[in-house]
Structure 1
Amino acid sequence: MPGRHIHTAGERIDVERFRVFAIHPIAHASQQREIAQALRFVRAPHPGDASTRTGGCPATNPLVCLELPVDRPVCHTDAVASSPARPSPAVRILDTANRLFYDEGFRVGIDRVISESKVAKASFYRAYPSKDDLIVAVLRRRHEEWTRWFVRRVDALTTERGRSLVRLADALGEWFARDDFRGSPFTNAMADASLPRTAVEVVHRHDEALRRALLAYLEHVGLEASDEVADQVSLIVEGAIVRAQRADRPDAAAAAARAAASLLARLDRPV
């Protein structure tokens, strides 16, 4: 309900906004569990249960814990713990692959990832037995980072400018204007014919998670939260991302954001 807040890891979070927008995991496993319990999304984990011992995720809400087709449910804790000053080889590999795959595509070779990560080949294969495993890990990280940013940015813009579907386009426009914008890593991945099945499933789960978040936001802004409307909004969002990536005109990104805002405004009629 409006005005209620919880405090986690030094952050003050509006409970109602968090509830209706179905925000993805924010930072750490302890913070996830605290938020989830406060909102009654998940059962309180027992101190001895496997999820707290192994880093598994007890959540049942798909935006609190996105269950991907890998060895276990994927939570924000999947990043390998290491000192900020001395990243582990696994973290360096993931950081490097995350950058290279987004900038140049998934055809970047393992030898180059190993070289730029400055790790031994044995360290690479201990962390990621195959390139397919690394691709899945990169897509998982991209999902977590992008979803967290997008949800929080739309939430902030909604607070600043008022409830409207146009806030989605506002956030997209900011992303499109970044120097490192290379389009959607998930759309880019699907264009790669050699993408492994497990990675394709990660992309599909990302799409479903985004659609669920859009459904929640439709309800939050007082619009019809139906599958049909969510599909329309999702199509506008995804189409704008693809259009912004094209380099056939210098203002392609800005034009895509404006077009998305115009189309979303037409749907912006409270029920």
Structure 2
Amino acid sequence: MLTDTPVRLGVQIQPQHVTYSEMRDAVRRLEDMGVDILFNWDHFFPLTGDPDGSHFESWTMLGAWAEQTERVEFGALVNCNSYRNPDLQADMARTIDHMSAKGGEGRFILGTGAGWFQKDYDEYGYEFGTPGTRLDDLAEGLARIHARWDALKPPPTRKIPVMIGGKGEQKTLRLVARYADYWHSFVHPEELPHKLSVIEKWAQREGRDTSTLILSNELARRTEEGADQLFDGGVRLFTLAFRGPDYDYDLVRSWLAWRDAKNGGRP
């Protein structure tokens, strides 16, 4: 578990109930404000509010962000593995990685998970299965993604970081131990020691060193005291849900100030 890395703030721009121009403006403003990572999510319909309201697709948007932004890292929080062939996911990720490089390394993060929102599957004709089958598909998919990255020409500009979301101890955390650079969850501070012990148990079986694993957690409905507790538990990436069209930039500023204080006054 990596705790000597600076605290970073990721903002998840929810692609629902807004116009694309409003999201484009939010991307520009958030990057200019100094946010570290921008996320969207990988669904086909709104998760809150009017279930038939406006909504936009994730990967297409990420390609646009690769061109629009200059500094910020970005990805989906999280991609749904079920919707796309794993080799295609790897190729899309590699392409977006190159699009975002701007003369240096790419800035794309592959956040991924097993999927859970049944309406996405039913409306778009995907087999929903069970939590177990979806997690098995994710395990197969991650293996194929890494194999495809090794075969693509040109390869990615860097080792594309992988973020895995979830907390299930028998399958999800084993995949975290095997593949993840970031583990994202919503667990409470008091749960972290146990979950980390499970990850370490799986890491020993997988023969992988997880000392560089970065812990990620959500700031929604948390106070600074709650965020401090997560920080003390080892979390270093804090994500903030960002809802439009009335975006609360003051809230982002307050968490950026908290981040900078944690980093000794440095952004």
Common topology (TM > 0.5): no
- Structure number with bigger Rg: 1
TM (normalized to structure 1)? 0.34
TM (normalized to structure 2)? 0.34
Considering fraction of residues, name the structure with more helix: 1
The higher relative CO (CA closer than 8 Å, separation ≥ 6) is in: 2
Considering fraction of residues, name the structure with more strand: 2
